[in-house]
Amino acid sequence: MNFFEGLEKFGIKPKTDIGLYEEEKKQEQQRQQEEAAKLEEPKEEDFLLQRNIKCPVCDKTFKDIAMKSGKAKRLEPDEDLRPRQMYIDSLKYGATVCPHCGYAALNRYFTHIASVQMKMIREEVTPNFKPLEPETELRAYTYDEAIERHKLSLFNAMAKKARTSEKAYNCLIISWLLRGKAEEIGEEQVDEYSQCKEEEEAFYWEAYEGLLKAVSSENFPICGMDANTMDYLLAAMASHYKQYDVASKCLSRVLSSSTAGRKVKDMALDMKEQIIGEIKKM
């Protein structure tokens, strides 16, 4: 049925197969699709994007996967400041890896590399590195992939003789990734879970030792942290190892600091009370 028969004389050529209420139908369909999308849980990919990166070591470009900034909802961090977000673990995307030459670093350090260090990477990493398939599509990393990328970054940090803090921070991120992996595995899978926790402990200890060394030899900010944040982090790590003397010293520095904000002071106060409770139990 052509509802517009006779309009040809005005020069109008209506499509004969179009329904009068096609537009309304389309709008209703779109509304239903949007409703359904809202109800669906977001996927990790929804928080990710691809970036083009130029490797400072081999000068080749590659596509890398990164977090969209400010999109994921933050959750309360762990006591030692491990960041947590809804639907995604941002830590998985903290290392950049060049698929061509094997140069890898934590994102914050990737472009900050001296030419003498580039030479070390070309000599100690690239010759044995098997180039990776380029990342063509946007996808989420598994914990195992993320951990491998961060281990490659740590290996590069050793090869380029990075600062103590860079190596220690890299170890801290690996231990936090292993904590995330353990949470994903779940305590019911006894063997796999305890193996994962054991590895987490090993990297956590390396991080703790390294950060203690770094604060006595480097200037703040260290790994992007000011002195108060670092003191709080070290206190949390020290009390994990029941080194309450170290923890107390770090906490009193935070509590008496004139530059520490309300939030970190409150957290330090809470931890101090916990430690007093623990010491009483001993």
Task: Tell me which residues touch Zn ion (CB under 5 A).
Answer: 55, 57-58, 98, 100-101, 103
Torsion 215-217-222-226 (CA) sign? positive
What's the closest the beta carbon of residue 111 comes to Zn ion, in angstroms? 12
What's the closest the beta carbon of residue 100 comes to Zn ion, in angstroms? 5
For Zn ion, give the closer residue by CB, 82 or 160.
160
What's the closest the beta carbon of residue 149 comes to Zn ion, in angstroms? 14
What's the closest the beta carbon of residue 167 comes to Zn ion, in angstroms? 20
For Zn ion, give the closer residue by CB, 103 or 208.
103
Strands 48-54 and 61-67: antiparallel
For Zn ion, give the closer residue by CB, 100 or 160.
100
For Zn ion, give the closer residue by CB, 64 or 200.
64
For Zn ion, give the closer residue by CB, 100 or 150.
100
CA distance 106 to 111: 10
For Zn ion, give the closer residue by CB, 47 or 62.
62
What's the closest the beta carbon of residue 130 comes to Zn ion, in angstroms? 13
What's the closest the beta carbon of residue 99 comes to Zn ion, in angstroms? 8
For Zn ion, give the closer residue by CB, 31 or 51.
51
User: Phi/psi at 64 (nearest 5 deg)?
Assistant: -125, 155
What's the closest the beta carbon of residue 54 comes to Zn ion, in angstroms? 9
CA distance 144 to 198: 15
